[in-house]
């Protein structure tokens, strides 16, 4: 009898515990939505006045400024952020981030993350921005605020060089085993293209792991970013026996920086610093160093920059509205 | 990447592996005993609570616990926050304490009642009986199952990479995916094998030293 009562009490306690968790999680789920509602109403005055929740817009920026460092979520990913032969972090994004942070007056701290946990890293404040060749898409706009797009990208297919003529389009790839990074733009292509509906999917932890799948023959093809594919398969590299195919249609994409939804100030500041760098020609200089000049969207020419310079606020506002909808 | 560069990267990763192993072991050996006292306590609520905790910790994957401890506080907007390594250590220490506590309990319950009675006859107090009579016999009996857990711990440290802590496996993966050098997997296998060989030898020594009754 005693044991029965004990069991009943224990299960009651568990139920209470579970209910408690349920409540807290729903209320925390509400918070970002509230915040995005607030930002949509105050987005026009980005960074000037407080939002309705008493959580003044700019709170996230103050948080970063007080720390004195901007924690940047990255993965090792050539040519964006990677370790050179000496083990030093280098790459286009590394130099770009450092240049922007110098303008912002904070220190850049690079934190390696697992790419498929980037949203949770951002929300739990373990990182402050995602800045690693992050492709802008509608789903991600619900999770984060994007900066001005600074670089063009597209998804490409990588196969072994000896097979490169067999796959003129995605329809010819229907029966293949295709690797892609989990949570990447490549995954959207594979799941969205009806011609690829029957292919075997391999969800890798990182884009470079997808390349490794192809090299080792465990996958027939992989879908990765053009910039990464180009850097990895260049002559003399370990992946030189792979070939890049541009057989995917509708894959035009743009790279931008992602920040938390709660505060538009962080992105406004980053956009301003980016524009300054573009006007100084510094950004084009860095891009040239990593053979990415033709993909750059800001600072290519002077008219171009003035056009994008007026864009940030309106694009932030429209993103905030779309995320609230 | 040259062999020395690879070894340098791998040693950095291995030192993190060793640190997770060492700190977890040092903290969870005594903490496990606390859990054992809880689960064998005469105070019912305490016993239920401990058994509930042990059930939750043993019933969920360690990987999940690491993720929850690291990301949970931030997502719930708590002020409390752990560094990546601390989150890993907390998860490992709690997890291994629970497993150790059950091994300790098995050891304690295997000691015949006569040992306690003999102590009482000699006029020893309860703590004296526990520390001078029972505990040493328990230690002797639980070395083999503890060895099992300890060797599992060596390899479980690789779970730390789910929150991007660069331990040995992650260090190897970073090299492999960049330089397509599959041999690195063999190198880290050697690292693990060498280390478990050392642990196995130490456990063997302990067992030999403790087998003072056999002739």
| Range list of H helices, chain A | 2-42, 59-67, 92-104, 118-123, 138-141, 185-192, 207-216, 226-232, 264-280, 282-289, 302-309, 311-324
- SS3 for A12? helix
Containing domain of residue B43, as a range?
Answer: 3-210
pLDDT at A259: 95
CB contacts of B72 in chain A (<8 Å) are 124
Dist CA A62 CA A225 (whole Å): 34
pLDDT for residue B75 is more than 90: no
Give yes or no for B11 touching A (CB within 8 A): no
Higher-confidence position of B2 and A136: A136
- Tell me which DSSP letter residue A145 carries: E
Extract the residue ranges of chain A whose pLDDT is less than 70.
1-57, 300-325
Residues with Cβ within 8 Å of A160's Cβ and at least 6 positions away in sequence, in order, are A214, A215, A217, A241, A242, A243
Express each pLDDT in B105-147 by its tens digit. Answer: 999 999 999 999 999 999 999 999 988 889 888 998 999 999 9
Q: With CA atoms as reference, report the closest residue to B11 among B201, B166, B183.
A: B166
CATH number at residue B18: 1.10.3720.10
Dist CA A77 CA A98 (whole Å): 17
Range A33-47+56-151+254-324 has CATH code 3.40.190.10: yes
Q: Are A283 and A151 in contact (CB under 8 A)?
A: no
Q: With CA atoms as reference, report the closest residue to A296 among A244, A254, A257.
A: A254
Dist CA B126 CA B117 (whole Å): 11
Residue contact A126–B178, C-beta within 8 A: no
Dist CA A222 CA A278 (whole Å): 33
Q: Which of A15-19, A298-302, B179-183, B184-188 reaches the highest mean pLDDT?
A: B184-188
Dist CA A135 CA A114 (whole Å): 16
CB contacts of A121 in chain B (<8 Å) are 71
Dist CA B41 CA B47 (whole Å): 6
Tokens 């060895």 belong to residue? B147
Q: With CA atoms as reference, report the closest residue to B85 among B63, B64, B70.
A: B70
CB contacts of A10 in chain B (<8 Å) are 48, 52
What homologous superfamily is domain A153-252 in, according to CATH? Answer: Periplasmic binding protein-like II (3.40.190.10)
B215 located within any domain: no
- SS3 for A286? helix
Dist CA A219 CA A211 (whole Å): 9
Closest Cα in chain A, distance from residue B166 (Å): 9
Give yes or no for A120 touching B (CB within 8 A): yes
pTM over 0.90: no
Give the total number of structural domains in chain B: 1
Topology match between the domains A33-47+56-151+254-324 and A153-252: yes
Kindly list the domain boundaries of chain A, sorted by start residue.
33-47+56-151+254-324, 153-252
Q: How far is CA B194 from the centre of its chain?
A: 19
pLDDT at B45: 95
pLDDT at A2: 53
Distances (CA, A) of A158 to A35, A176, A214, A292, B13: 41, 12, 8, 19, 31
């Amino acid at each position: 009898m005693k044991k029965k009562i004990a069991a009943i009490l224990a299960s009651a306690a568990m139920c209470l515990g579970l209910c408690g968790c349920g409540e807290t999680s729903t209320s925390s789920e509400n918070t970002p939505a509230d915040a995005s509602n607030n930002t949509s109403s105050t987005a026009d005055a980005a960074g000037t006045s407080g939002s309705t929740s008493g959580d003044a817009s700019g709170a996230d920026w103050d948080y970063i400024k007080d720390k004195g460092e901007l924690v940047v979520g990255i993965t090792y990913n050539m040519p964006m952020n990677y370790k050179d032969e000496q083990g030093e972090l280098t790459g286009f994004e590394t130099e770009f981030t450092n240049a922007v942070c110098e303008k912002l007056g904070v220190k850049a701290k690079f934190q390696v993350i697992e790419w498929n946990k980037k949203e949770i890293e951002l929300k739990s404040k373990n990182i402050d921005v995602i800045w690693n060749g992050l492709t802008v898409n509608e789903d991600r706009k619900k999770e984060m605020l994007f900066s001005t797009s600074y670089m063009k990208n597209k998804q490409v297919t990588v196969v072994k060089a000896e097979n490169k003529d067999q796959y003129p389009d995605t329809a010819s790839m229907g029966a293949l085993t295709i690797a892609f990074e989990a949570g990447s733009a490549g995954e959207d292509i594979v799941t969205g293209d009806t011609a690829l509906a029957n292919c075997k999917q391999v969800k890798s932890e990182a884009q470079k792991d997808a390349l490794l799948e192809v090299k080792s023959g465990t996958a027939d093809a992989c879908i990765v970013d053009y910039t990464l594919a180009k850097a990895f398969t260049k002559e003399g590299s370990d992946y030189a026996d792979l070939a890049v195919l541009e057989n995917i249609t509708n894959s035009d994409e743009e790279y931008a920086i992602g920040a938390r939804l709660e505060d538009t100030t962080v992105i406004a500041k980053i956009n301003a610093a980016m524009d300054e760098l573009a006007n100084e020609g510094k950004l084009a200089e860095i891009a040239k160093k990593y053979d990415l000049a033709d993909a750059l969207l800001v600072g290519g020419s002077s008219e171009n920059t003035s056009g994008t310079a007026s864009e940030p606020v309106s694009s932030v506002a429209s993103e905030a509205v779309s995320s609230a909808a | 990447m040259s062999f020395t560069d690879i070894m340098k990267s791998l040693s950095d990763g291995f030192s993190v592996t060793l640190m997770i192993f060492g700190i977890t072991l040092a903290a969870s050996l005594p903490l496990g005993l606390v859990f054992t006292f809880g689960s064998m306590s005469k105070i019912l609520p305490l016993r239920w609570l401990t058994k509930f905790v042990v059930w939750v910790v043993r019933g969920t994957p360690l990987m999940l616990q690491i993720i929850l401890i690291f990301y949970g506080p931030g997502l719930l907007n708590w002020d409390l926050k752990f560094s990546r390594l601390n989150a890993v250590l907390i998860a490992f220490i709690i997890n291994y304490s629970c497993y150790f506590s059950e091994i300790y309990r098995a050891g304690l319950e295997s000691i015949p009642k006569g040992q306690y009675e003999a102590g009482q006859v000699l006029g020893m107090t309860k703590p004296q009986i526990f520390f001078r009579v029972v505990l040493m016999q328990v230690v002797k009996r639980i070395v083999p199952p503890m060895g099992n857990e300890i060797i599992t711990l060596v390899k479980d440290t690789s779970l730390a990479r789910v929150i991007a802590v660069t331990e040995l496996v992650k260090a190897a993966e970073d090299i492999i995916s960049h330089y397509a050098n599959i041999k690195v997997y063999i190198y880290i296998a050697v690292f693990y094998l060498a280390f478990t060989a050392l642990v196995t030898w130490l456990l063997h020594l302990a067992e030999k030293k403790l087998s003072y009754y056999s002739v």
